[in-house]
Structure 1
Amino acid sequence: MSEMPDTSPEGASLHAPVARLLRPLVRLFVARGITFPALINLLRELYVNVAEYDFALPGKEQTDSRVSLLTGIHRKEVRRLRGAGAPVSAVPAVVSRTSRIIARWLADPHFTDGQGRPLPLPRAGEDGEVSFESLVSGVTRDLRPRAVLDEWLDRGLALLDPQGRIVLAEAAYVPKGGGEPQLYYFGRNLHDHIAASVANIMGEAPRFLERAVHYDGLSAELARHLERRAREIAMEALAQANREAHAACATDPGGDHRWNFGLYVYAEEAPPRRAPQGSGDAA
């Protein structure tokens, strides 16, 4: 069976939005040395994996021929690539541990002030007293709080104030530098945003909330102002969601589901449009 380059009419309608979606990713690929042949190999593996696991017919064994038909990839290649199992996105240990400690510091009323801001914490305290030691030990006992503190100070996630108390740094909210934590959340958050949009397109009715407020034709000053204000609103919403989720988890029996609530803010200099200045929309 030969490669099949043809695209269905439904697929053709996706060309423009997919090209726009992929453009910033291609910029990242080129910057990070992911060549076009390397990307093709990755896409080939993903096409086979998705067809094998997401498009299997109930009660029927998925065949090489059907995967080849769905993907346009030759059966020999399908046979070689099948059976690898659905990809699992493992959470790096440092990401899981750090995110859980920060989430508690931002949500637990014992570690926040009246406005929900994280309190400066002494290194240690007596039994039951609020401290960095009690914060960490309440999440994990596999690591010494001093080791966690040394790591956070080195990474800029925490600072020491003049009183020697530990302060959560702004850097702790958003991993930076293209390291493992940032790249993990890059994959996770973009996956979930795209997955929500795809589910809404493929379903009979929108299942997930996926909306944005956008204005074009703005001055640079107003764009900067709206970006700053949007950050404030977003952080307030994230903090509230984190507090409620943290409190609810205390009585939840646990299970195999996960939940993600995300926000993004973006602004750029864009070519002028014919729409009236200041025109806006929510979609």
Structure 2
Amino acid sequence: MSDEIASSEGAALHAPVARLLRPLVRLFVARGITFPALTNLLRELYVNVAEYDFALPGKEQTDSRVSLLTGIHRKEVRRLRGAGAPVSAVPAVVSRTSRIIARWLADPRFTDAQGRPLPLPRSGPGDAASFEALVSGITRDLRPRAVLDEWLDRGLAHLDADDRVVLAEAAYVPKGGGEPQLYYFGRNLHDHIAASVANIVGEAPRFLERAVHYDGLSEDLARRLEARAREIAMEALQQANREAHAACQTDPGGNHRWNFGLYVYAEAAPPPAPPGTV
């Protein structure tokens, strides 16, 4: 590929990348991540990606080649190389909570005929459906009472008039900018972007990545469509979760992962930007 072609392809990315980054920059400014701090992070990522994702088969990756790929001086490349490929560890509380909720939403023992999570007594005899049985089927490292106290404190569940544990709507979407929400922020956006990038750089689109969108709507219709889209999305997510949960019962296991995500967004469209702005 000539420098001219490469340059034109890079230029074609400027506008969509600027649009993609704009909400992230809004978050960075709101959370105190300054431009110099972001620059340092990007420099490390450029070196890391060039080192691990663009190594030539059978050849050792060199400082010079990483510098050529990234435009970062060899002295900086030498300083930053060798950090290892980034690893995104799942926080223990996120892993445990998501697995318990997934089972509550998927296992027929803990759902009604319509697939909705049943209110569960705290405990019950034998194999009877209960919160204790639900938690014990996922982990025996923690007492179900400790999990329940944590969930009640976090608003993930509440007790009804019959002292049964009821899964709260807050359990579906972590809130408040805490560790669980930030973990899924990074994971889900990564996977969505990774699917889109794979479809661009691959020989043919591999991943499903589609959206339904309408412009020029009244505020009332936009709100109604948003509400209805939430219902449709939750139905799809719950169905996918039930099928995946059932399939996992007989799967031998391996080193692959799968993510099925949905998003709904609506806003008052800003006026057209003047030429030359993003």
Q: Same fold (TM over 0.5)?
A: yes
CA distance in 1, matches of 2:61, 2:79: 15
The C-alpha deviation readout for 1:38-82, integer Å capped at 9, x for no partner, is: 000000000000000000000000000000000000000000000
Give the alignment of 1:139-178 within 5 angstroms.
139-178=138-177
Residue in structure 2 matched with residue 202 of structure 1 by the alignment: 201
**Equivalent pairs: percent with the same residue?**
89
Instruction: Judge conservation of contact 1:156–1:169 (CA < 8 Å) in 2.
Output: yes
Partner of 1:60: 59
| Paired position in structure 1 for 2:245 | 246
**Counterpart secondary structure, 1:159:** strand
Amino acid of the residue matched to residue 164 of structure 2? Answer: R
- Equivalent in the alignment of 1:111: 110
Pairwise mapping of residues 119-130 of structure 1 onto structure 2 (< 5 A)?
119-130=118-129
Which amino acid letter does the alignment assign opposite residue 268 of structure 2? Answer: E
Gaps of 5+ in 2: 1-5, 273-278
* Whole-Å separation in 2 of the counterparts to 1:12 and 1:128: 62
State the TM-score, normalized to the length of structure 2.
Answer: 0.95
The Cα shift of 1:243 comes to 0.1
Aligned to 2:134: 135
SS in 2 for 1:214: coil
Task: Please name the residue that 1:11 is paired with.
Answer: 10
Runs of 4+ in 1 over 3 A off after TM superposition: none
What is the match of residue 212 of structure 1?
211
Which residue pairs with 1:99 in the alignment?
98
Aligned mates of 2:128, 2:152 — CA distance in 1: 22
Deviation at 1:8, TM superposition (A): 1.7
What letter is aligned with 2:148? L
The one-letter amino acid of 2:23's match is P
Q: Answer yes or no: is the 8 Å Cα contact 1:217–1:272 preserved in 2.
A: no
CA displacement at 1:271 relative to structure 2: 3.7
CA drift at 1:272 = 6.2
Following superposition, the deviation at residue 127 of structure 1 comes to: 1.1
How many residue pairs get aligned? The number is 267
Per the alignment, residue 275 of structure 2 pairs with none
Residue aligning to 1:276: none
Q: Distance in 1 between matches of 2:59 and 2:271?
A: 53
- Return the alpha-carbon distance in structure 1 between the equivalents of residues 271 and 177 of structure 2: 32
Q: RMSD between aligned alpha carbons?
A: 0.8
